[in-house]
Amino acid sequence: MTVPFKGAAIQFEPDFGNKDRNVSALLALVEEAATNGARLITTPEMCTTGYCWYDRQEVSGLVETIPGPTTDRFAELAHKYDCFIVLGLPEVDAETNLYYNSAALIGPEGLVGVHRKTHPYISEPKWAASGNLGHQVFETKIGRIAMLICMDIHFVETARLVALGGADVICHISNWLAERTPAPYWISRAYENGCYLMESNRWGLERGVQFSGGSCVISPETEILDVVDDGDGIAYGLIDPARSRMRQVAGEPVMLQRRPELYSELMTNTYTWNPGEFFRLYGHQPIEKGRRSRIAVGEFTPTSDHDANLSMMSALAEQAKAQGAELIVFPAFALTGLDNPAQTAIPLSHPAAKTIGKLSQQLGISIIAGFAEAQENERFSSVMIARPDVPAIAYRQVHLTQDEHAWATPGDEFCVFDLPLGRVGVMVGHDAAFPETGRLLALRGCDLICCPSSISDGFHLGHPGSKVRQPEPIPYGADQLHWHHYRVRAGENNCYVAFANTRTVANKVAGRSGIFGPDTFAFPRKEALVQEGGLAVAEIDTSSTSPTYPTNVVRRKDLVLMRQPHHYLPLVMSSVAI
C-alpha cells in the first residue's frame, strides 16, 4: 500500500549548450529538494542542454544514451536519498543513432524507465524523431508514475492513456511558452483525469524565445499546491496516491463511466487529408462552405414551471436575434427544470417542446435547449435541437452522472448536424467531463460544439498575475478567469465551444457561460462571456481565404491533425487500471 509523499518540481534556466554547468546546477537543486524530504523530483524538458537547437548537427555533441554518464550521476543522488528523479535530456539511441527529446525516470536502484516525447513541437523535427515508446506508467514503491513532455499534453489522449494505466501522478516536464502559467492545459489534464500533475517548466530567454516558468504541483481537484513564478526554484506538494486512485471529477468516478465502445473513431485521423475535400467526399453529408456568423448562449436558472422557462428563453432568443445571432444555446434542463427530472420529463411532442419549435420558426433562429425527456417508460437527459423549417430532434446524453443513472437511460450515439454557419456537435452536461466527447465531435468535422450544462464549480480558476513579461499581446497580469475548462475544450479541438450553464445549481452560484474560440494561444482572446443580462453573443468565422485548402484553424484543425492515433489503442478498450 502506498502512502502520501512529498513531490518537488524544479524550475530551472539552462545555460544554452553548457551541459557541465547545467548538470552541476541541477544536481544541487535535486539534492536540495531531496534533503527537504521530496521522494519524487522533476526537472524541466531538455534541462541539461537548452532547447532551441537549429538542427541535428548542432545538438550532436550533447546527446547521450540512457542510461549514460548524466543519468548515472543522478542515480547516485537517487540512491543516496532513496528518491525518484525525472530528468529531461536529449537522448541518442545507440542502435539506430536517432535522437529523441526524452525524460528518464531514475530511482534508488537506477534507471526505472524512459519516455520519448511523442508529439513534437515546431522546432523538434529539425533534430529529433517522434517518440516510439508509447505512454507508459511505471510502478514504483512510492506509487505509479507517468511522464509526458511539453507538447504531449496538448493532446487529450496522452494524459488519458496514462490515467487509464493507473498513474497516480503525471510528471510533465516542459519548455512552455506563449502564455501565463500554470497553464490551463496543465490544470485541465489533472482535473479531467482525477490525478496529480507535477509540472517542471523552464524560465528565461533563449534565442529570442521567452519561456513562461510557473512550475507547480496540481492536485486532482485543481488546487495549485505550490508554484514558482519566475526564476530558479522548487515547488513542493504532497502527493496522495489514494486520492488519484479514486479517479473522480467533481465526485464522479469518470473512468468507470467512460463509453469506450463508442470511441472507435479516436483511432482515426480525419484531418490527414485536405478537410475541405474529405468532408465533401462522394457528396455524402458535405460540410458547408463556411462563413462569418453570430451565435449566442443564454444563461438562467430553470424551474419546474415550463411557462416561466419558456418566457425566459423567448426573451433571450429575441435579444440574441436582434444582435444578429443565428443560433442560441440554453442550459441543461432549461425547459423542464433541475428538480426531480424523472417527474418533470416530457416527450418531444409535448406542447412546451413544440413552443420551442415555433419560437425557432418565428424568429428564424436555431435553438438548442436541455430538457428531461420521456419516451414510454424511459427517461433521458436530452437536448432539443430546433431549426427553422426542420423537424425538431433530440440528442440524448451519452455519459451520465451517478444521480442521473438513478432515473435516466444513457444515449448511445453522438450528435452532429449541419447549419449554414457550419457543422455543429452537441455534448450535454456530464458528456463534457470526458475529453473523448469533444475529440470525437472534432474528428467528425465540427466547427462548433454546443454544450448545455448544469455544473456548479471546480471548472475555472483565477490567476494573480506573473512576473514573467510576455511579448505583446500575450497577457501576464491578474485574471479572474485564467483557466476555464470549456475554453480548453475549444482550443484542444480547434472548435468554437458555446457553453451555456445554469446560473445557480443547488443554491450555489454557477454560470460562467460563454463562447470560446478555436485557438487557445490567439490573443487577445476571441470570446464572449455572459454578464448580468444572461446573454452572450459572439461572431464565429468558419470561412477560408483559399478555395483549395482551409486557411482557418477551425477548418484546418492543426492540433487534431498532429495526433498520433497509433499510440491510442487503450482508449477504445474496456480495461481500466485502478
**Does residue 45 carry a catalytic annotation?**
yes
- Half-sphere exposure of 115 toward its Cβ, with a 13 Å CA cutoff? 29
Of the residues 13, 19, 83, 117, only one is catalytic, namely 117
Nearest-angstrom CA–CA distance, 380 and 395: 9
Nearest-angstrom CA–CA distance, 295 and 325: 5
How far does the chain reach from its first CA to its final CA, in angstroms?
A: 13
Contact 211, 228 (CB under 8 A): no
For 301, 349, 386, 392, 497, the CA distances from 355, given in Å and listed in that order, are 19, 10, 10, 11, 26
**Does residue 526 carry a catalytic annotation?**
no
Of the residues 19, 47, 91, 150, only one is catalytic, namely 150
Rg of the Cα atoms in the chain = 24
Helices (H), 128-253: 156-164, 184-193, 241-244
Q: How many CB atoms lie within 10 A of CB 232?
A: 18
Helices (H), 339-392: 341-344, 351-363
- The secondary structure of 420-478 as a DSSP string is TTEEEEE--GGGGG-HHHHHHHHHTT-SEEEEEE---SSSEEEE---SS-PPTTS--S-
Nearest-angstrom CA–CA distance, 197 and 222: 9
Contact 411, 396 (CB under 8 A): yes
Of the residues 45, 124, 157, 373, only one is catalytic, namely 45
DSSP run (H or E) holding 320: helix 306-322
Alpha-carbon dihedral sign for residues 186, 187, 188, 192: positive
**Does residue 6 carry a catalytic annotation?**
no
C-alpha cell at 316: 433571450
Q: How many CB atoms lie within 10 A of CB 509?
A: 10
Angle between the N-to-C axes of helices 156-164 and 435-443, in degrees from 0 to 180, rounded to the nearest 10: 140
Return the active site residues: 45, 117, 150
